[in-house]
Amino acid sequence: MNDRGAAAERLAEQHLCAAGLRVLARNYQCRLGEIDLVCSEGDVLVFVEVRQRRSERYGGAAGSITAAKRLRILSAARHYLMRLGREPACRFDVVLLRGVTRQIEWIRSAFEA
């Protein structure tokens, strides 16, 4: 990951923690994919994808989460859940950082398994 990506993930993490989420894992990786942040919000396990784009051209940050990317996130989430040995309530959120000012948009339940 490059420095810009790491900085974007730190900003997203700070934003989510300020909103009451607790970070359980950062950059969880398996051979099937990667999850930027794994958090908990109460009893809900939250898998978070962080995307940053300087411009809205070509769909911007939100448009960069393709069907293939979602599939890799879902696969990595299943792998994470297998390690837990139980399956809590889960959701998939997206944190978008837009433009040079890094305006944050948090989309809860951005997609489903």
**What tens digit of pLDDT does each residue of 66-112 get?**
888 889 999 999 999 999 888 899 999 999 987 666 789 999 998 88
The answer to the question of residue 77 being in a domain is no
pLDDT at residue 58 in the model: 46
Residues β-bridged to residue 35: 28
- Flag whether 65 is in a domain: no
> In terms of residue numbers, what domain contains 95?
3-58+88-111
β-pairing verdict for 33-41 and 22-30: antiparallel
Q: Is residue 83 part of a domain?
A: no
The CATH number that applies at residue 27 is 3.40.1350.10
Query: Does 64 fall in a domain?
Result: no
Burial class from Cβ neighbours inside 10 Å (0-12, 13-18, 19+) for residue 102 reads middle
Asked whether residue 37 is assigned to any structural domain, the reply reads yes
Q: Has residue 29 been placed in a domain? A: yes
9-68 pLDDT tens trace: 999 999 999 999 999 999 999 999 999 999 999 999 999 999 886 655 544 445 567 888
Residue 69 lies in a domain: no
pTM for the full predicted model: 0.88
Q: Residue 57 has what pLDDT? A: 55
The first and second tokens of residue 35, run together, are 């999850």
pLDDT at 7 over 90: no
Q: How many Cβ atoms are within 10 Å of 3's Cβ, its own excluded?
A: 7
Q: Domains in the chain: how many in total?
A: 1
pLDDT of residue 59: 46
The set of residues, in sequence order, having a beta carbon less than 8 Å from that of 72 and lying 6+ positions away, is: 32, 33, 34
- Specify the 3-state DSSP secondary structure of 54: coil
